[in-house]
Structure 1
Amino acid sequence: MSTHDHDHDHQHADGEHHHHHERGPESYYAARTKALESLFREKGLIGTDTVDRVIHFFDHEMGPFNGARVVAKAWTDAAFKERLLEDANKAIKELGLREGIEGENLKVVENTPSTHNVVCCTLCSCWPWPLLGLPPYWFKDPVFRARVVREPRAVLKDFGVELETAKKVAIWDSSAQVRFFVIPERPEGTEHFSEEQLAALVSTEAMQGLGLVSQPQPGA
């Protein structure tokens, strides 16, 4: 486990930023997944029911909707947030959520007006699966893993996040021993929102520090 503080911007040598969150790679991996699924079915290694069960599991039991629910609870219940920051695994059990594989030894950090937290995994792609579901392709990208430690503000800008110069950026390196999860800052104008409405604003990127929470639409 390690953290790194950065207080200034860095640029690529060629002066460009590469966007790792475009649709291209997702389509590539989707095509590969479909091809492998077809091959396994042809060889009789898996059946349609097996694939359907796995898809149902990630659609309804394990996914970013779990993490968003945790964030919404932390925003509306100060005592819960305190317990979450102290012992994340114990606190999420209060919501009926299971640790599951890859969900052991969770550590929660909170974004504040003075500090913005970003999570990465510099060695491989350790990820809190029970709270966030399948890791996105950018988290496993070796270029992303190298850049986010070296030039976090440039990477954040690639993801559409521009922070004030005075705000510190803290980098948290997930590992097999501990996986990090971010409580993003609650947006203004959500005082009357229910936990369900708040959860709907929270993205996977926001819970890893690579995004900000969506501002509520007028009239919401």
Structure 2
Amino acid sequence: MHHHDHDDHHDNHLTPIEARVKALETILTEKGLIDPAAIDAIVDTYETKIGPRNGAAVVARAWADPAFAGWLAGDATAAIASLGYTGRQGEHMRAVFNTPETHNLVVCTLCSCYPWSVLGLPPVWYKAPAYRSRAVIDPRGVLAEFGVALPEERKIRVWDSTAELRYLVVPERPAGTEGMDEAALAALVTRDSMIGTGLALSPEARP
């Protein structure tokens, strides 16, 4: 553990994920196992191109198309696959929908299960024991730390992902998005909103 802390300190100008990728890249390159350019392409693909953008497209389609939303609720694995996004391990997906009454939060208490094909690279905190244990015990407090203050009467459901079943949170569609096309809607869907540690962006907050 101490060694890991030292690495983080040494690479303190990098984000934790950058530091980890860099360390991994160095080891694999030294062993002659990879071409750094190839790794860069893979990381870029998962972090920006595939990753959260796939999930955002799924959410946008559900917002725009009630029939698709129904399919997603009933058989998320098939509905997501119909858009061309499937997991490498063939994991099953389940979509849980946020409503005015209920907010959903995803955690993986025993492992770091994460549907890369629809959410990209997992955030570092997702694997942290503190997040995993506290999200179950005090989800409201954890959400507040992420800047998500929910009304007291809104129920929070915590879903525990496993290697066999991974969850996708469908955030509530923001107000003021009537008439927006799916591409514009997808731009409002953040990775954190699909884990439940964030909300979809309002049109005004769009990047």
State the match for 2:194 in structure 1: 207
- Per-residue deviation, 1:51: 1.8
State the match for 1:167 in structure 2: 154
| 2:105 equivalent among 118, 125, 133 | 118
Please give the secondary structure, in 1, of the residue aligned with 2:38: helix
Please give the secondary structure, in 2, of the residue aligned with 1:123: coil
Which amino acid in structure 1 is aligned with residue 71 of structure 2?
A: R
Please give the secondary structure, in 2, of the residue aligned with 1:171: strand
More helix by share: 2
Please give the secondary structure, in 2, of the residue aligned with 1:144: helix
Once residues 101 and 189 of structure 1 are traced to their aligned partners in structure 2, the CA distance between those partners, rounded to angstroms, is 36
Deviates more, 1:33-42 or 1:164-173: 33-42
CA separation of 1:181 and 1:26: change in aligned 2, threshold 3 A: farther
State the match for 1:80 in structure 2: 68
Residues 72, 195 of structure 1: 8 Å contact kept: yes
Please give the secondary structure, in 2, of the residue aligned with 1:205: helix
- Per-residue deviation, 1:218: 8.3
Kindly indicate whether residue 27 of structure 2 is the aligned counterpart of residue 50 of structure 1.
no
TM-score normalised by the chain length of structure 1: 0.82
Residues 117, 171 of structure 1: 8 Å contact kept: yes
State the match for 1:39 in structure 2: 27
State the match for 2:82 in structure 1: 94
Please list the CA deviations of residues 178-211 of structure 1 after superposition, one character each: whole Å capped at 9, or x if unmatched: 1111110011000021111111011111001111
Deviates more, 1:197-206 or 1:27-36: 27-36
**Which 4+ stretches in 1 moved above 6 angstroms?**
none
- Per-residue deviation, 1:101: 1.8
CA RMSD of aligned residues (A): 2.3
Kindly indicate whether residue 15 of structure 2 is the aligned counterpart of residue 27 of structure 1.
yes
Kindly indicate whether residue 146 of structure 2 is the aligned counterpart of residue 144 of structure 1.
no
Which amino acid in structure 2 is aligned with residue 130 of structure 1?
A: S
1:130-141 map, 5 Å? 130-141=117-128
Please list the CA deviations of residues 112-146 of structure 1 after superposition, one character each: whole Å capped at 9, or x if unmatched: 01111110001011111110011101110100100
Once residues 169 and 93 of structure 1 are traced to their aligned partners in structure 2, the CA distance between those partners, rounded to angstroms, is 28
Once residues 76 and 205 of structure 2 are traced to their aligned partners in structure 1, the CA distance between those partners, rounded to angstroms, is 34
Q: Percent identity?
A: 48
Once residues 25 and 206 of structure 2 are traced to their aligned partners in structure 1, the CA distance between those partners, rounded to angstroms, is 44
Which amino acid in structure 1 is aligned with residue 99 of structure 2?
A: T
TM-score normalised by the chain length of structure 2: 0.87
Once residues 123 and 14 of structure 2 are traced to their aligned partners in structure 1, the CA distance between those partners, rounded to angstroms, is 8
CA separation of 1:195 and 1:103: change in aligned 2, threshold 3 A: farther
Residues 187, 206 of structure 2: 8 Å contact kept: no
Once residues 152 and 102 of structure 1 are traced to their aligned partners in structure 2, the CA distance between those partners, rounded to angstroms, is 29
